[in-house]
Amino acid sequence: MDIARPSCYETVRNDDDKKSSDADIYNTSVKLEDPSAPSHDEQWTYNFFITPLNLNISPTDFKIPNDKSVKYTVKCEAKIKQDLIVQVHSLFFEIVGARCKRGVTSQEFHILSENETMTFEVGMKDLNNVSYENYQAANLLSPAGFITFTHFKSLRKDDASWGVKDPKKLMKVVTKGDGGRYNLEKLLVETETDSIKKISEDFAMILQQGMDDKRTKEQEMKMGNMEMFATEEYVEKWKKDKKAIEIAQKNQREWNDKKLEKPGMQKKKEKKCNIM
């Protein structure tokens, strides 16, 4: 099945883009404009439409061994030349020799014509130097993470025209409309080691803290609205609710700390991850 031609194909968020707060992170953005599609921000949190790929991917098992990488082959089955972007978002795994890599994300991308193939390898990261950078932008909710495949009709002259100036900056992939194809597969750990368990525990606490901060921010926004329109008695009630939430969050953090101090856990606690 042929891929529809995008109505807009543009490069944004490059080194000259000073309007965005994260312009120093992302190289480019590929857009397929559709007024009825989700917003730009929603797309970056991976609210993509899951669609069948015009690709043949082998192998189809995404359980990665601890001691060696897995080689994958992607064959293009579309009749029209395609832009293909493969992304791994994970604390444990990365694309070996990726064209772009930053924090939890590594990327490989190429132009493929019909029956052409691309190969890449996914392997274990250095678990002694784990980075949590940009995990929120990647919508990473589990330490093992996931791999995504995105492809659509290419308008590029050649494989050198992706506009990537710095491999430490990421290609921002935004697919709008029904012209592109997108799919996601969960990554799995073959053997859970002590290091992997420790990273998983640390990441769970980071996610919990993030949820606590979000709740606190939402409560403060509600309080601001109440102070503008509510009576003095109603505002006092909201303040008491806010205090109760803060106490509950504090108790939860203390409970988590005590859990890490159980016999046999102390040695693990002393090993700190180097968070980038």
- The reply to whether 225 falls in a domain is yes
If asked whether residues 153 and 255 sit together in one domain, one would say no
Q: Does residue 20 form part of some domain?
A: no
Point out the domain boundary residue: 189, 220, 241: 189
Domain hosting residue 202, numbered range: 194-270
Structure tokens at 188: 């799995």
Instruction: Give this prediction's pTM.
Output: 0.64
**Both 92 and 162 in a single domain?**
yes
What does the mean pLDDT of the chain come to?
A: 74
Separation in Å, CA 143 to CA 26, 48, 111, 162, 189 = 22, 21, 30, 29, 10
Q: Are residues 134 and 72 in the same domain?
A: yes
Asked if residue 270 has pLDDT above 90, the reply is no
pLDDT in tens, 220-251: 666 555 555 556 666 677 677 777 778 877 87
Residues 195-224, mean pLDDT to the nearest whole number? 79
Domain identity same for 38 and 145: yes
| Same domain assignment for residues 83 and 63 | yes
Within-domain flag for 67: yes
Q: Within this chain, do residues 107 and 130 fall inside the same structural domain, yes or no?
A: yes
**Do 151 and 56 have their domain in common?**
yes
How many structural domains comprise the chain? 2
Q: Do 201 and 140 fall within a single domain?
A: no
Highest-pLDDT range among 8-12, 167-171, 231-235, 257-261: 167-171
**Single residue among 162, 189, 216 that ends a domain in this structure:** 189
* pLDDT tens-place string over residues 110-146: 999 999 999 999 999 999 999 999 998 898 999 999 9
Coil, helix or strand for 41?
helix
Helices 232-260 and 194-229: crossing angle in degrees, nearest 10, is: 170
